Amino acid sequence: MRIDARKARTLLPRILAAATRLFVEKGVEGTTTRAIAEAAGVAEGTLYRHFRSKDELAFTLYRENLDELTDRLFAALQPDRPLRANLEALIRVIFTSYEEEPMLSRFVLFSQFQQLRRLPRDYRFPSDAFRTALAPTAAKRGWSEEGLALTTALVFGGVMRCIVFRIYNELPDLRTLVVETARRLERLAR
C-alpha cells in the first residue's frame, strides 16, 4: 500500500515530534522504533519509509535543527555591527529557539556529544556565525586566533548554560534576559 504525498506530509511531522519527545525522555538508546510509531500513531513500517534506522532519524533531527539554528545566526549576526548588538542578536536567536521549541532544543543540547562525531570536519556550526561576526572586533582589539576561539567558546558556553538553567527552572523565560545576558557577556569579551 502506497502512502500518498499529502498523507506523508502529515505523518512525518508526527513521527519527528514523537521521536523528539521520546529521545529527550528516554535517550536514543532507550527509545524503540515501536515506541516512536505508537506515539506518532503510525505503523512501525512507516518509520522505515522515511529513515533507515532509529539512529538515522536521531541524526537527521539533530543535523537539520543545528543547520536551521546556524542559518538563523548567520542571518542575524553582522560583522559590521558593534559587539553588543551581535551579542544581543546571538542570544535572542538562541533563547527564542529554546522558548519556541523547548523539547527540540533539549534534544539538540543533550544529544550533541553522540551526534557531533558524525558531522564532517568542515561542518558549519552555529558558533561559526558568531566567530565570523566577532572577527572584526577581535582584529581591532589585537586578539590572536586563539583569543577569538576562546571568546567564542566562552560566549557559547555561557549562553548554552543559561538554557540548562532554564530547563531546571532556575531562570525565567529566557527572552526576558537577552539584554542583561548580552551586557554581562560583553564584559567578559573585553
Q: What is the CATH number of the domain that holds 21?
A: 1.10.10.60
pLDDT grade for 188, boundaries at 50, 70 and 90: confident
Q: Are residues 21 and 62 in the same domain?
A: no
Q: Are residues 29 and 18 in the same domain?
A: yes
Q: Are residues 45 and 70 in the same domain?
A: no
Q: Are residues 20 and 66 in the same domain?
A: no
pLDDT at residue 129, rounded to an integer: 97
Going from the C-alpha of 129 to that of each of 52, 116, 125, 137, the distances in angstroms are: 32, 17, 7, 14
What CATH code is carried by the domain that includes residue 155?
Answer: 1.10.357.10
Q: Are residues 40 and 68 in the same domain?
A: no
pLDDT of 155-167, one tens digit each? 999 999 999 999 9
Q: Are residues 93 and 23 in the same domain?
A: no
Q: Are residues 94 and 144 in the same domain?
A: yes
Report the C-alpha gap between 45 and 50 in whole angstroms: 9
pLDDT of 111-150, one tens digit each? 999 999 999 999 999 999 999 999 999 999 999 999 999 9
Q: Are residues 153 and 116 in the same domain?
A: yes
Q: Are residues 171 and 93 in the same domain?
A: yes
pLDDT grade for 1, boundaries at 50, 70 and 90: very low
- What is the number of domains present in the chain? 2
Question: What's the first-to-final CA gap in the chain, in angstroms?
Answer: 62
pTM exceeds 0.75: yes
Domain limits at 123?
A: 54-188
Rg (CA), the chain: 19
Q: Are residues 108 and 46 in the same domain?
A: no
